Amino acid sequence: MAKLDGKVAVVTGGSRGIGAAIARRLAADGAHVAITYSGNAETAEAAVAAVRAHGVEGMALRADAADADAVKAIVPQVVDRFGRLDILVNNAGILVLAPLEDCTDEDFERIVAVNIRAVFLASRAAAKVMEDGGRIITIGSVNGDRMPFPGGALYAMSKAAVAALTKGWARDLGPRGITVTCVQPGPIDTDMNPASGDFAEMMTPMIALGRYGTPDEVAALVAFLASLESANITGRDLANRLQDVA
């Protein structure tokens, strides 16, 4: 038996990048997987096909993480389809880069809506339906506790917030055996932040391993946190740390 056989997982923002890698890995470990996406239906269906290739069920739900009503509807739709929910991976997120003088009200409101409010809404809904022993995992960022370049304050704020929520929710849900964790990767090679170009040239020398990580490496950690092997790990943020910046 695969270690997640019979489990049902939701991966928000699961149509590409880190989210798609997580969906594939959870499926490979035996879980039925629902993903959410906000834009490209064709990309989302390709991600679902990759899930189903592992012999499990998959589904795609269109849900913009900035839309509170859409986020609230995710868990009920998954439970209606699969009858249960065991694992929630809060992966959907956006990046806003601008110095303080140039940040707009809209920048602030949108990053709070997508990177913080959506995590709260999905996690609250999941906690209400999960059986004891469930898993809530949020993809944060190393920037939640370290910001080595200018213009990243709003993004850092949002990732620090979900790390703090993780600690509080671990206390709330601990009596039910539901673990709550936050994965805080450093730079990961995705289409949003490729391991090439000017930004990568600046960041790579600051990474302890001297290279960008891969989506599959993040997915491997998420799969561990979703499994029974991690039953004694909660309220923690787990990170690939950037080196100190001179």
Told to judge if 37 belongs to the known catalytic residues of this protein, a careful annotator would answer no
Q: Classify the phi-psi angles of 19: left when phi > 0, otherwise alpha if psi is within -120 to 50, otherwise beta.
A: alpha
Among the options 37, 82, 155, 212, which is catalytic?
155
Q: Which residue pairs from 206-214 have beta carbons closer than 8 angstroms and sit at least 24 positions apart in sequence?
A: 206/148, 206/242, 206/243, 206/245, 207/240, 207/242, 207/243, 208/240, 208/241, 208/242, 208/243, 209/240, 212/186, 212/187, 212/188, 213/185, 213/186, 213/187, 213/188, 213/189, 213/240, 214/21, 214/188, 214/189
Q: Which residues are catalytic?
A: 155
